[in-house]
Amino acid sequence: MDNVELNSLAQDKVLILYVLNNINRDITESDLFKYINPITNMNYFYFKQILTDLVDSKLVETYTKDDEDSNFAIYRLTNYGKESLDLTIDILPGLKKLKTDTILKNESTNIANESSIITEYIPENEHSYTVKCKIVENNTTIFEIRTYAGSINQAKNISDNWKKNAYEIYPKVLNLLSNEN
């Protein structure tokens, strides 16, 4: 790695720490990626690699909800991560901080409103995705379905349809599953 790549990697790590520090709440990987991607247009695999490195370095901690209905990882900044952010914040360009602050302000409202309808697609490989669709109320998953998508477009379509139509789809699926005929 040359100095430019190392500087970019360091900035990306500091950016994730900065976002975690400024949202001031525990967050899922999917929601964190929703904040980060518009700022840097970072691809998912690179994001995942950096996040894993931050967890391994004990700058970020992760845990799974104790609720048996919830099995997604939650991320938050550690005290060590806050100290590291304080020491390294200067490597994040001012323009990127301003863009981040603007996105955090706008997206916080959107993500909070979406929190009861959750969807994410996870790449398994280049042409295979697992799509998770959930309804969460009071931090308890009341409905979850996982399916396979053979392309990124199909995964996005499933996710978009779930976001738009979850409250119509959910009763239909529940009715089909509970129907004795």
From 89, 114, 139, give the residue that closes a domain. 114
- Annotate 85-118 with b (16+ C-beta within 10 A) or e (fewer): beeeeeebeeeebeebeebbeebeeebeeeeebb
Domain that holds residue 135: 117-178
Question: Are residues 72 and 154 both part of a single domain?
Answer: no
Q: What is the model's pLDDT at position 68?
A: 43
- CATH number of 55's domain: 1.10.10.10
The per-residue pLDDT for range 56-70, each reduced to its tens digit, is 999 999 887 654 444
Q: What is the model's pLDDT at position 138?
A: 59
Residue 39: CB atoms within 10 Å: 20
Question: Are residues 12 and 49 both part of a single domain?
Answer: yes
Is 135's pLDDT higher than 90?
A: no
Question: Are residues 44 and 109 both part of a single domain?
Answer: yes
Looking at the whole model, is its pTM more than 0.85? no
pLDDT-derived band at 139 (thresholds 50, 70, 90) equals low
- Annotate 12-36 with b (16+ C-beta within 10 A) or e (fewer): bbbbbbbbbebbeebbbbbbbbbbb
* E strand segments, the chain: 27-28, 60-64, 73-77, 117-125, 128-137, 140-149
Averaged pLDDT for residues 73-100: 90
User: Total structural domains in the chain?
Assistant: 2
Q: What is the model's pLDDT at position 170?
A: 86
Q: What is the model's pLDDT at position 122?
A: 86
Q: Residue 59: name the closest of 37, 87, 40 by CA.
A: 87
Q: What is the model's pLDDT at position 52?
A: 94
Q: Strand, coil or helix: what is 141?
A: strand
Is 115's pLDDT higher than 60?
A: no
